[in-house]
Amino acid sequence: MEASVILPILKKKLAFLSGGKDRRSGLILTIPLCLEQTNMDELSVTLDYLLSIPSEKCKARGFTVIVDGRKSQWNVVKTVVLMLQKVTHFCFWKEKDRLGFEVILVSANKLTRYIEPCQLTEDFGGSLTYDHMDWLNKRLVFEKFTKESTSLLDELALINNGSDKGNQQEKERSVDLNFLPSVDPETVLQTGHELLSELQQRRFNGSDGGVSWSPMDDELLAQPQVMKLLDSLREQYTRYQEVCRQRSKRTQLEEIQQKVMQVVNWLEGPGSEQLRAQWGIGDSIRASQALQQKHEEIESQHSEWFAVYVELNQQIAALLNAGDEEDLVELKSLQQQLSDVCYRQASQLEFRQNLLQAALEFHGVAQDLSQQLDGLLGMLCVDVAPADGASIQQTLKLLEEKLKSVDVGLQGLREKGQGLLDQISNQASWAYGKDVTIENKENVDHIQGVMEDMQLRKQRCEDMVDVRRLKMLQMVQLFKCEEDAAQAVEWLSELLDALLKTHIRLGDDAQETKVLLEKHRKFVDVAQSTYDYGRQLLQATVVLCQSLRCTSRSSGDTLPRLNRVWKQFTIASEERVHRLEMAIAFHSNAEKILQDCPEEPEAINDEEQFDEIEAVGKSLLDRLTVPVVYPDGTEQYFGSPSDMASTAEHIRDRMKLVSLKRQQLRHPEIMATESS
C-alpha cells in the first residue's frame, strides 16, 4: 500500500507513529480519537499502512499503542481496542490476557510511568516533536523515490544486461525510445541524495537544536534501504552511461559514415557529371565569361559539400583522438576515402577554373590583336594624300609603331595559346575513365585556328605595309625631287641675277678681258650644271608620278620656270660673251696701235686699222646702252647706269688715245713742236 493512494485518509491523522519507543524499544503507535465519530474503516486502513512501515526486526519487539480517548466516548475506545485484536499479523507485546495483549487504562499524566517523557509527544506531556504533515510529505517522497528507483533499476538492468550479451545485431541497431529509461536517472539520484540528507539530518538533529528522535529514523523509513537503492542506482547508472556512451559513439560513427557516403556519392555522381558536361573553353570573351559563371555556380554547389567535408573531418579527428582501438581503422579508412574524393574533386575544380581563366586571357589577347589588325588594315585601306615629306615620315613612323604593336600582340597570343595548349595536353583523365580526347581536339583546333588566322591577317597587313612603305618612300623622293627642282630654279635665277648685276666690267686691257671671258665661261658651266640637275629632277618626278599614278605639283610650274630662267640666262650669257669678245678685239687692236712698233711702220700707218678700232669702239659703246631683250619682251640691263657709264668712259678714254696716236702719225711735225 502506498501513501499516495490513501493520502486523504492519512491527512486526517487517525493514527501515527511518532518515532517514540517504550522501555522495551517497541514503537509507540498513537491513535488520537476526537469528538467526531471515527471511521473505523479508515482507521483500519491507516493502521494497516502504519504497521507495514517498520521492519520485521522492529515488529518483533512489539508495539505500544496509545489510544487517546480523552476527546471521545468510551464505547469508541472499546471498539478501537477490539479492532486492534484483529491485527493478528503484527506482533504486539503479549500477556496472558484474552485479547492477546496487555490493556492498561491510565490517565495522561501517568503515562510517564510506562514511557519516558522524551519518547512522548507534547500532547501527553512529553518533549518529542512530531509534525504529521512533514512526516507525510517525507513519506510520500520516500515512497516515490523507492518506486521510481526500483523501476529504474529494473530498466537499467534490462538495458545493461542486453548490452552485455554482445549481440552484433544489437550493436548495429540505432538507439530508440525502447533503450531509454522511463524516468531521468539524474533526477532520481538527486531526489535520493536529498532524501538521504534529510533523513540523516533529522535523525541526529532536533528542531530545537538538541538531540531528539525524529519520526523519520532508520526504523521508520529504512534509511539503509535508501542508501542501498542509491548505491545500486549509481552502479547501474554508471554502467548505463557507459552503454549509452558506446551506443552514442557507435551512432555517431554510423552517422559520420552515412554523411561520408553522402558526400562521396554526390561528388562522384552529380558533382562529377557537372564537371564532365563542362569541357569547352568558348570561342570568345563573352562565351568564356559565360562558362566561368556556370563554373562558379558549380563551385558554389561543391562548396556546400566541402563544408560538410570539413565538419566531418573535424568530427573524425576528434573521434580518432578519443576513439577505441577497434574504431581507429574504420575511422582512418573513412577519413582517407573522404579526403581522396574531396581533394580529387577540388583539383578538378581548380584545373577547370585555371583552364577557363587561361582561355579568357587568350580570347582577350586575341580580341585586342584583332582590333589592332583592324585598325592597321583600316589605316592601310585609306589612300594617302600627305602634304609634305614630314607628314609622310610621321605616317611611316605610325605604321611602324602599329606593326610593332601587332608583332608584340601576336607574340603574346602565341604565348597565351601555347600555355593554354599545355594545360589541355596536361589534363588528366579525371572523368573516371572517360576519354576527353575528342573534346580536347575541338579546343586545340580552335586555339590553333585562332593563332593561324591572326598570323595570316598579320602577314597580309605586313605585305600591305611593305607596299605602303614603298609608296611613301617614293612620295618622299617625289617631294624631294620637287623641292630640289624648285631649288635649282632658285639657284639658276640667282645666277642670272648675279650675271646681270655683277658681271659688268669689260676689262682694262685685252689680257684682263680674256680672263673675264674665261671666268664667264666657267660661270656658264655652273649654270648649265644647275639647269641639267633641275631637268633631271623634273624627269625623275615624272617617272615617280607615273609609278604613283598621281600628278606632280611641279609638272606645270617648275619646268616652265626652269626653261624660262634658263632661256633668259642663255640670252644674257650670250650678250655677255659678245661684249667681252668685242672688248677683246677692241683692246687688242688698240694696244697694237698704241705700242711703239718701229719694225712695222706700215702697219701702224694703215688708216683702215684706225677706222676699224674706232668702229669697234663705237659698236661696243652702243651695245652697252642696249638692254637684254628676253623672249617674253621684257628688258634687262647689265648693272646700274653708273656702272655702264664707268665702263663706257674707260672705252672712250682708250678711243681718245687711239685718235691721238692717229693724229701723231698724220702730222709728226705738229706733235714734235708741241712736245718741244
Which CATH number characterizes residue 374's domain? Answer: 1.20.58.60
Same domain as 532, residue 420: no
**Domain final residue pick, 111, 130, 149:** 130
Confidence class for position 200, pLDDT limits 50, 70, 90: confident
Instruction: For residue 249, tell me if it sits in a domain.
Output: no
- The secondary structure of 534-571 as a DSSP string is HHHHHHHHHHHHHHHT---TTTTTHHHHHHHHHHHHHH
Cα–Cα distance, 283 to 280 (Å, whole number): 9
Q: Are residues 466 and 507 in the same domain?
A: no
Q: Which of 420, 449, 472 marks a domain boundary?
A: 472
pLDDT exceeds 70 at position 41: yes
- Distance of alpha carbon 265 from its chain centroid, rounded? 31
CATH code at position 551? 1.20.58
Are residues 141 and 195 in contact, defined by beta-carbon separation less than 8 angstroms?
yes
Q: Is 0.75 topped by the overall pTM?
A: no
Is residue 672 situated within a structural domain?
Answer: no
Cell triple for 482: 620637287
Q: Please give the Cα distance from 131 to 134 (Å, whole number).
A: 5
Residues 435, 337 share a domain: yes
- The number of CA neighbours under 13 Å toward the Cβ of 120 is 18
In the prediction, which pLDDT does 528 show?
Answer: 93
Q: What is the pLDDT of residue 426?
A: 78
Q: What is the mean pLDDT of residues 2-31?
A: 85
246-264 mean pLDDT? 84
How high is the mean pLDDT of the chain? Answer: 80
- Residue 122's pLDDT is 83
One domain for residues 462 and 573: no
Whether residue 246 is contained in a domain is answered as no
* Structure confidence by residue, pLDDT tens digits, 553-611: 555 688 888 899 999 999 999 988 998 888 888 888 888 887 754 444 454 456 788 88
Asked if residue 88 is part of any domain, the answer here is: yes
Question: Structural domain tally of the chain?
Answer: 3
User: Does residue 636 lie within any of the structural domains?
Assistant: yes
Residues 410 and 554 in one domain: no
pLDDT tens, position by position, 81-98: 888 776 644 444 444 444
Report the alpha-carbon distance of residue 272 to residue 348 in Å, rounded: 9
**Per-residue pLDDT tens for 323-341?**
666 667 888 888 888 899 9
pLDDT of the residue at 95: 41
The answer to whether 188 touches 181, Cβ cutoff 8 Å, is: no
Q: What is the pLDDT of residue 146?
A: 82
Cα Rg for the chain, rounded, in angstroms? 74
Burial class of residue 372 in the structure, from the number of CB atoms within 10 Å of its CB (0-12 exposed, 13-18 middle, 19+ buried): buried
Longest dimension (CA), the chain: 238
Please tell me whether residues 511 and 413 are part of one structural domain: no
- Chain-centroid distance, C-alpha 143: 72
In a domain, 626, yes or no: yes
Kindly state whether residues 410 and 280 are assigned to the same domain: yes
pLDDT of residue 553: 58
Task: Judge if 340 and 455 occupy the same domain.
Answer: yes
Q: Are residues 464 and 527 in the same domain?
A: no
Examine the pLDDT at 104 and tell me if it is beyond 80. no
Amino acid identity at 443: N
Q: Tell me: the pLDDT tens digits for 267-295? A: 888 988 888 888 888 888 999 999 989 98
Cβ atoms within 10 Å, residue 171: 12
pLDDT for 386 equals 62
pLDDT band at 317 (very low <50, low <70, confident <90, very high): confident
How do residues 610-626 score in pLDDT, each as one tens digit?
Answer: 888 888 888 888 888 88
Residues 298 and 444 grouped into a single domain = yes
Strands 63-68 and 27-32: parallel
Which residues make beta-bridge pairs with 636?
628
At residue 314's C-alpha, the angle toward residues 308 and 315, to 5°, is 90
Asked if the model's pLDDT at residue 174 lies above 50, the reply is no
Look up residue 662 and give its amino acid.
R
Q: Is residue 222 part of a domain?
A: no
- Cell (9 digits) for 456: 595570316
Same domain, yes or no, for 539 and 426? no
Nearest to 225 by CA among 340, 53, 464, 474: 53
Distance CA 225, CA 58 (A): 15
HSE-CB of 41 using CA atoms within 13 angstroms: 1
Neighbours of 300 (CB within 10 A): 9
Residue 613 lies in a domain: yes
Judge if 645 and 553 occupy the same domain: yes
DSSP letter assigned to residue 174: P
Q: Which range has the worst mean pLDDT, 169-183, 219-233, 405-419?
A: 169-183
Model pLDDT, residue 368:
93
* Nearest CA among 53, 16, 52 for reference residue 33: 16
Q: Which residues pair with 635 in a beta bridge?
A: 629
Domain with 106, as residue range(s), is: 6-130
**pLDDT over 70 for what percent of the chain?**
84
Question: Which of the listed residues 63, 98, 130 is the one where a domain comes to its end?
Answer: 130
Is the pLDDT reported for residue 135 higher than 60? yes
pLDDT computed for residue 596 by the predictor: 56
Phi, psi of 559 (to 5 degrees): -60, -45
